[in-house]
């Protein structure tokens, strides 16, 4: 891990600046104390980062759980009772990891994973438009769009509002100015300066723009271009050790027999595990070194993290694609990035909360614009389209719902459903192939060769071909390559044998055991009970 420390430290600083506002925003959207989001970020970095087998994955509070957390706190009656559900959810995740449930990650099609990454990139870009122009009172913290609202597509409405604000001149000039400057510096840094010398790789562009943003705020304070408090990061500032200590909350174990607590615990465990496994699959695809994350170990790490987070007042934790992709794009090579970023969150909360509160949100929006664009490059759409409709449909079925509603699980669910439909369709088409023997296609001799595996999914295709056979023909059914033949298919052959006699169709069955014409029992021939 320490061999790559030169690249890991700059990457951890970038991830820290990406994670800080997201920790606060997700806590606000969850209806939880702001400090609980920071706790989850710290535990996700230090504890989960230390236990995880992922070299580039970064964990923290997840936007995808914000709506669940908000409703759970309201239904359970107190934040302390909710913390108990987080602890129990972590225990359930531990059990899932120990029972090898992480294998589910390998059953998601590549097109859906790429669609999820692209959709998240679009969400990031759309969500940062209001703070970039200084429009929202608390733009980073407003994650209400995670609740699907078909009447008000909040992501697109944010874009429309930004356009209207530009036209009507209702934007905050100072916020937009430092945002544009920051974006220009980031693009210059990554596309030009990073190739000019090692110093520009050691000192990352996001760190530079954050420093410039703080300087801009201090120089323009009280001036026409000055920024208001609502345009800045907002970290709790304790005035003493006691006030800092009082920010921690602890679970109420007296509610352990409450049925509602266990329902919330299972919900957190399932959703957090699924989101983590999706992110693991996605980050492994983004990883330039092509490392493979042990999924069962990841569930164990996430479960441990949620137990610790719940015990000291933190939100539920998952591996998060925004932080992870920022890590990859910043050149992070080992899990030290996640661990260091966790310690940076801890140190900043204790030592420099006042300085952090001078960072303009538009600067952080510029950083996230770059992260989002790298995830949702136009070239990705072009490449997926060129791969054909079997890849394009699941990809777009994942991207569009996410881009319109901001709901990750909805997008992945629809993309997966389309992906399964494509698989079933191809299975229907590829269960067999049919051709006539000899040059004379009207000689009545037909050969049908079954595929290596034939299941009940193939029933429709085989029935169609059998029914289309002409009367008075000779069918050679070749199953020598078939390794698995579903009992449903054997029953179809049994039924067709009865009809074949009426239509004067001779059936010759060819297998590795030999050939036989018009067998009396197909079930016995295949030795199926």
- Tell me: the pLDDT tens digits for 3-12? 788 888 888 9
pLDDT of residue 304: 96
If you average pLDDT over residues 239-250, what whole number do you get? 80
Q: pLDDT tens digit string along 139-188?
A: 333 333 333 343 345 555 556 666 666 655 567 888 889 999 999 998 88
Mark whether 361 and 460 lie in a shared domain. no
- Report the C-alpha gap between 190 and 188 in whole angstroms: 6
Indicate whether 306 belongs to any domain. Answer: yes
Phi, psi at residue 233, to the nearest 5°? Answer: -60, 145
Last residue of a domain, one of 329, 364, 392: 392
Mark whether 457 and 369 lie in a shared domain. no
Mark whether 377 and 476 lie in a shared domain. no
Q: Which residues pair with 319 in a beta bridge?
A: 59
Most confident option among 114-118, 181-185, 288-292: 181-185
Mark whether 342 and 438 lie in a shared domain. no
Indicate whether 345 belongs to any domain. Answer: yes
Mark whether 386 and 446 lie in a shared domain. no
Q: How many domains is the chain built from? A: 2
Mark whether 469 and 322 lie in a shared domain. no
With bands split at pLDDT 50, 70 and 90, how would you rate the model's confidence at 229? confident
Q: What is the CATH number of the domain that holds 464?
A: 3.30.750.24
Query: How far is the CA of 205 from the CAs of 17, 139, 178, 181, in angstroms?
Result: 12, 23, 14, 12
Phi, psi at residue 454, to the nearest 5°? Answer: -125, 120
Mark whether 353 and 459 lie in a shared domain. no
Alpha helices in 287-407 (DSSP H): 295-311, 321-329, 336-351, 353-356, 361-375, 378-386, 389-405
Indicate whether 115 belongs to any domain. Answer: yes
Mark whether 213 and 121 lie in a shared domain. yes
Mark whether 499 and 436 lie in a shared domain. yes
Phi, psi at residue 60, to the nearest 5°? Answer: 175, -170
Phi, psi at residue 116, to the nearest 5°? Answer: -65, -45
- Report the C-alpha gap between 315 and 307 in whole angstroms: 10
Residue 429: strand, helix, or coil: helix
Mark whether 8 and 134 lie in a shared domain. yes
| DSSP element (H, E) containing 414 | helix 408-429
127-136, 218-227, 298-307 — which is least confidently predicted? 127-136
The 10 Å Cβ neighbour count of residue 53 is 17
Last residue of a domain, one of 337, 360, 392: 392
Phi, psi at residue 511, to the nearest 5°? Answer: -140, 180
**Is 24 or 170 the better-scoring residue by pLDDT?**
24
- Report the C-alpha gap between 45 and 148 in whole angstroms: 29
Last residue of a domain, one of 392, 413, 442: 392
pLDDT of residue 438: 43
Mark whether 234 and 86 lie in a shared domain. yes
Buried b (16+ CB within 10 A) or exposed e, 83-101: bbbbbbbbbbbbebbeeeb
Print the domain residue range for 123: 2-148+162-392
If you average pLDDT over residues 484-497, what whole number do you get? 82
Indicate whether 383 belongs to any domain. Answer: yes
Indicate whether 61 belongs to any domain. Answer: yes
Indicate whether 415 belongs to any domain. Answer: no
Residues in contact with 363: Cβ distance below 8 Å, sequence separation at least 6, in sequence order = 178, 179, 182, 209, 210, 212, 213
Residue 402: strand, helix, or coil: helix
If you average pLDDT over residues 105-117, what whole number do you get? 77
The 10 Å Cβ neighbour count of residue 382 is 9
With bands split at pLDDT 50, 70 and 90, how would you rate the model's confidence at 17? confident
If you average pLDDT over residues 334-360, what whole number do you get? 88
Contact 338, 327 (CB under 8 A): yes
């Amino acid at each position: 891990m320490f061999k790559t420390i030169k690249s890991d430290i700059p990457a951890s600083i970038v991830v820290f600046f990406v994670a800080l506002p997201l920790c606060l925003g997700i806590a606000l959207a969850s209806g939880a104390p702001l400090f609980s989001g920071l706790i989850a970020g710290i535990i996700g970095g230090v504890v989960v980062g230390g236990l995880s087998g992922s070299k580039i994955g970064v964990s923290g509070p997840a936007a995808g759980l914000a709506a669940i957390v908000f409703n759970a706190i309201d239904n359970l009656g107190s934040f302390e009772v909710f913390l108990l559900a987080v602890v129990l959810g972590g225990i359930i995740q531990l059990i899932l990891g120990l029972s090898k449930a992480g294998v589910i990650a390998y059953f998601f099609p590549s097109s859906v994973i790429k669609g999820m990454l692209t959709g998240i990139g679009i969400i990031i870009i759309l969500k940062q438009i209001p703070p970039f122009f200084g429009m929202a009172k608390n733009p980073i913290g407003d994650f209400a769009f995670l609740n699907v609202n078909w009447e008000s597509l909040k992501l697109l409405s944010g874009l429309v509002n930004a356009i209207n604000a530009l036209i009507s001149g209702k934007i905050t000039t100072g916020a937009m100015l430092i945002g544009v400057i920051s974006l220009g510096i980031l693009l210059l840094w990554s596309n030009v300066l990073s190739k000019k010398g090692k110093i520009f790789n050691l000192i990352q562009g996001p760190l530079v723009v954050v420093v410039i943003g703080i300087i801009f705020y201090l120089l323009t304070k009280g001036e026409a271009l000055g920024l208001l408090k609502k345009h800045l990061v907002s970290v709790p500032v304790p005035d003493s050790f006691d006030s800092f200590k009082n920010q921690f909350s602890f679970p109420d174990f007296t509610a352990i027999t409450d049925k509602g607590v266990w329902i919330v615990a299972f919900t957190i465990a399932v959703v957090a595990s699924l989101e983590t496994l999706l992110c693991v699959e996605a980050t492994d695809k983004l990883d330039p070194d092509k490392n493979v994350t042990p999924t069962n170990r990841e569930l164990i790490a996430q479960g441990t993290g949620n137990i610790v987070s719940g015990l000291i007042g933190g939100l539920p934790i998952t591996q998060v694609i925004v932080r992870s992709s920022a890590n990859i794009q910043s050149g992070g090579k080992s899990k030290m990035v996640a661990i260091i970023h966790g310690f940076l969150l801890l140190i900043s909360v204790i030592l420099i909360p006042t300085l952090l509160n001078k960072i303009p949100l538009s600067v952080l929006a510029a950083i996230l614009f770059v992260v989002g664009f790298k995830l949702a490059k136009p070239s990705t759409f072009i490449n997926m389209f060129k791969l054909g409709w079997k890849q394009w449909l699941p990809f777009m079925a994942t991207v569009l719902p996410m881009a319109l509603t901001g709901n990750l699980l909805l997008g992945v669910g629809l993309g997966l459903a389309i992906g399964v439909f494509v698989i079933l369709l191809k299975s229907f088409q590829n269960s067999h192939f049919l051709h006539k023997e000899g040059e004379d296609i009207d000689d009545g001799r037909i050969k049908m060769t079954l595929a290596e595996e034939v299941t009940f999914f193939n029933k429709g295709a085989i029935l169609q071909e059998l029914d289309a056979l002409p009367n008075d023909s000779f069918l050679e059914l070749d199953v020598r390559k078939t390794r698995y033949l579903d009992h449903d298919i054997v029953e179809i052959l049994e039924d067709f044998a009865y009809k074949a006699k009426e239509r004067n169709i001779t059936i010759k069955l060819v297998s590795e055991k030999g050939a036989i014409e018009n067998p009396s029992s197909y079930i016995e021939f295949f030795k199926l009970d």
